Structure 1
Amino acid sequence: MKLSVVIPAYNEQESIPETLRSLYQTLAKYGIPHEICVTNDNSKDQTAQVLEQLTHEIPTLVYYTNPGPNGFGYAVRYGLERFTGDCVAVFMADMSDDPEDLVKFYYKMLEGDYDCVFGSRWSKGGKVIDYPQLKKIINRTANFIVRLMMGIRYNDTTNAFKLYKRETMEGLKPFLSPHFNLTVELPLKAMVRGYNYAVVPNSWTNRKYGESKLKIKEMGSRYFFILLYCLIEKYLSRGDYRKKTTKPVAPVSR
């Protein structure tokens, strides 16, 4: 099963080389067929030039430049419309996600034939390194609200790092979120629409270079909008968007 890794990148010239080299070396070590798809989100620094140089070093790397509109969600969606694999992971450019965790996600999907594999940094076996205290409080509060409103047990909905089968991703369209709220839209839609999933502990490490693109003050209402949308779909859509299952055809007696 070919794995695609979609990575949005905006002004990540310092982080992206280490991220891509580590990712490629890890996937190659395990012999996982893959492609690494980076969306340069119209960066103002040297990200595009760095990516061009890296294509000569990393044979599985392809990159696109999103001319606009720009934003985290748009950049991820740009990659999600262009990947060629049988499954796709959203992975961050700032070295916060661990490639070894992606390998665990991949083998978990194969092992159980799951539609999705989600990580959890907050369950047993998960860990965070240098996580800002204010961000942690906001994160835990937001995830508690999501769990309460949606009636789910999963405790790390807001993390972008997740793995989906191609047919699952197709079943989540059309995408609504132009910003970081896409991280909530994808897993909640998957749950509401009846796709099965496994949860695997994973780690998170704060970025070494640059600054986070997430502006918490700007995102609150956008996250809440997506949460309400998924809640409405769950209770009022009467299953119109749920995963289509193929029933076995009974033999015809003659």
Structure 2
Amino acid sequence: MNKIELSIIITVYSETWSLLETIARIKAIDHGYVKEIILTVSPRSSAECMESCDSLVKENSNIRKHVQEHTPGVGWALREAMEMITGTHVVLISADLETEPEAIERMVKKVEETGCDGVIGNRWLKGGGFQNYDPLKFILNWLFQKIFRVLYWTRLGDLTYGYKLLSSEICRSIVWEGTLHEINIETTVKPLKLGYRIEQVPTVWIGRKEGSSKNTFWRNFRYVNIAIKVWWCDAAKLRTFIHQHNSTT
């Protein structure tokens, strides 16, 4: 297997100290596989946040800043950043510390051990968990995982979580549709539908201490919509559409 080179995409929305800690913790577990870090920043972020991003770029040769062009939505932020990647694999992570940076190391090891195409963070596995998670969302999340795990006939147990590692091939070969947080499930179920091998590792979700989430309760139902849409889609037709799209771009 060729050496893994990570393009780490960090979505940023006005975080400052959380972003700095995220970067520091990524550096602490980097064993030479982090090729680049792309900060994909909402244009609505605070001036202080923009300054923090600029300082990181100035101080680190492998960090780039991209100000999101299509707004609003984290889906757009990720889609734009995925077009900029140069590594063999991509990590999708946020700047709010709800996604623990240390899980990156576990994801890389899983790829090295199995040769899989992607690895999702699973909060429901032994060793994972939730801290300061809304009780109602916790129950709905559990139900959703059970239903769509059966629907997609997969052993993966956290289809909705956006924290993951994907091969660059996956990122480049699939036409992404999500504009808001529904891209979190889209980046798992579309690769599954297309036959890519996806593994999982435990991770802990920790409620943010800086800022507030932009994912409202009702927006969670967008996850359901795209999950059903992808499930109904014929994989062969999806592949044909992907190839046609790539040949015209």
TM-score when normalising by structure 2: 0.88
Specify the alignment match of 1:218 in structure 2. 219
Structure 2 Cα separation of the partners of residues 238 and 119 of structure 1: 24
Of the candidates 103, 106, 128, which is equivalent to residue 104 of structure 1?
A: 106
Specify the alignment match of 1:16 in structure 2. 19
Contact 1:119 1:202 in 2 (8 A): yes
Structure 2 Cα separation of the partners of residues 238 and 100 of structure 1: 34
Structure 2 Cα separation of the partners of residues 124 and 26 of structure 1: 21
Report the AA paired with residue 176 of structure 1. Answer: E
Specify the alignment match of 2:38 in structure 1. 37
Between Structure 1 and Structure 2, whose CA radius of gyration is higher? 1
SS in structure 2 of the partner of residue 141 of structure 1 = helix
Contact 1:26 1:100 in 2 (8 A): yes
Deviation at 1:35, TM superposition (A): 1.0
Gaps of 5+ in 1: 244-254
Gaps of 5+ in 2: 241-249
Structure 2 Cα separation of the partners of residues 144 and 211 of structure 1: 28
Specify the alignment match of 1:68 in structure 2. 70
Deviation string 1:169-225 (CA, Å, 9 cap, x unpaired) is 223x211110100011111011110001211112221111111121121331x2222
Structure 1 residues 124 and 217, CA gap change in structure 2 (3 angstroms) = same
Structure 1 Cα separation of the partners of residues 111 and 23 of structure 2: 22
Contact 1:24 1:58 in 2 (8 A): no
Contact 1:71 1:179 in 2 (8 A): yes
SS in structure 2 of the partner of residue 136 of structure 1 = helix
Report the AA paired with residue 207 of structure 1. Answer: R
Specify the alignment match of 2:125 in structure 1. 123
Specify the alignment match of 2:247 in structure 1. none
Specify the alignment match of 2:94 in structure 1. 92
Specify the alignment match of 1:252 in structure 2. none
Contact 2:8 2:34 in 1 (8 A): no
Deviation at 1:16, TM superposition (A): 1.4
SS in structure 2 of the partner of residue 91 of structure 1 = strand
Structure 1 Cα separation of the partners of residues 23 and 103 of structure 2: 15
Deviation at 1:146, TM superposition (A): 1.9
Deviation at 1:242, TM superposition (A): 5.2
Structure 2 Cα separation of the partners of residues 219 and 198 of structure 1: 24
Deviation at 1:116, TM superposition (A): 0.8
How many percent of aligned residue pairs carry the same amino acid?
A: 28
Report the AA paired with residue 142 of structure 2. Answer: R
Report the aligned-residue RMSD. 1.8
Specify the alignment match of 1:163 in structure 2. 165
SS in structure 2 of the partner of residue 15 of structure 1 = helix
Structure 1 Cα separation of the partners of residues 68 and 98 of structure 2: 22
TM-score when normalising by structure 1: 0.86
Report the AA paired with residue 28 of structure 2. Answer: Q
Report the AA paired with residue 200 of structure 2. Answer: V
